[in-house]
Amino acid sequence: MTTIPTYAQFMLPLLKLAAEDGQIYSVAQLRKRLAEQMNITSEQQAIQLPSGRQSVFDNRVGWASTYLRKAGLLSRPKRGYVQITGRGQEVLAQNPTVIDDIYLQRFEDFRKFKERSVSSETISTALSAENIIVTAQTSTPEETISKAIGILDAALRDELLDKLRQVEPERFENLVLRLLHAMGYGGSMRDVEGVPRGPDGGIDGTIKEDKLGLDIIYVQAKRWAYSVGREKIQAFQGALAGVGARKGVFLTTSTFTQQAIAYASQLKDSKIILIDGQKLAQLMIEHDAGVSIKEVFHIKQIDEDFFAEADF
């Protein structure tokens, strides 16, 4: 039986299929056509991952699609559908013989995605994108698992941000407050749901710092696609001063400019914490807000106490 292609081996055929007519295709349609084109039998398509939750074939095609999207060669106009981009068309015009992780490193969007999948404790800004790719031959099984989890988390963060950018502004503010509650702030969930919105637009909500309400944290939540500048942080500080507040959290689905970060860090009479899109999504993952557990893997080791000589 022919071996099922790797996810990288699916990339170029998948991109070529998506390029036909340039229309929107469902991933399910493309999977079916890939199976026919690459002679993948129904028996092969039925082979399951060890978890039994998904087939190996579906999983690999799914990751091929994800990596092509992260590189900007495909777009996702709606859930479960993809469409080739102008960049994808340009790539095919160059007649590449293979598209894989190394090939995709030429695209900044993909490099940034790979960088986000590596823990900040294990990568410095001096590392090049090529150094981020560590092959299985140079990694221990534990390192391989850790890197795979990093990639999964990075993809999930991007998906969470896509979802957050699609909700209405007031709904986004509510979701942010629910996240803060999941992190241990506020009293009951009823208190969080009933948070008043600031009429002046400078404050989107408030939440108790603890269950006793000894202090109040003021929240600004912006569902934006462009960077938040210093002037927005200054305006938020002014809104805090207007209500005699000292603590604030500014959250956004985008990023903060360096000037905004520097301004917030030098404040003395008040404290404003900045949470950008990637940090926001990571907090949601860590505190199970808007996500659920898909699979659990147990890595076991010898229990030395079990085999130790015991006194009976």
* 240-273 pLDDT tens trace: 988 888 899 999 999 999 999 999 999 988 899 9
Highest mean pLDDT among 6-15, 113-122, 136-145, 170-179: 6-15
* Alpha carbon separation from 273 to 3, 12, 221, 252, 301 (Å, rounded): 51, 43, 12, 11, 41
> Hey, is 162 helix, strand or coil?
helix
Among candidate residues 173, 252, 247, 236, the one with its CA nearest the CA of residue 202 = 236
d(CA 266, CA 270): 10
Is pLDDT of 110 > 50? yes
Is pLDDT of 206 > 60? yes
Burial of 62 (0-12, 13-18, 19+ CB in 10 A): middle
Is pLDDT of 29 > 80? yes
Residues 305, 311, 312: CA angle, nearest 5 degrees: 120
Backbone dihedral angles phi then psi of residue 187, each to the nearest 5 degrees: -95, -115
Bridge partners (DSSP) of residue 222 are 252
Check residue 48 and report its DSSP letter.
B
Rounded to an integer, the average pLDDT of 65-72 is 95
Sign of the Cα pseudo-torsion (295, 279, 73, 28, in order): positive
Is pLDDT of 120 > 70? no
Instruction: Tell me the pLDDT tens digit for each residue of 279-295.
Output: 999 999 999 999 998 88
Instruction: Specify the pLDDT at position 254.
Output: 95
Instruction: Specify the pLDDT at position 19.
Output: 96
**Whole-structure pTM value:** 0.69
- Whole-number mean pLDDT of the chain? 84
Instruction: Specify the pLDDT at position 268.
Output: 86
Is pLDDT of 100 > 80? yes
Query: Could you tell me the domains of the chain?
Result: 1-99 (1.10.10.10), 111-164 (no CATH), 169-286 (3.40.1350.10)
Is pLDDT of 134 > 70? no
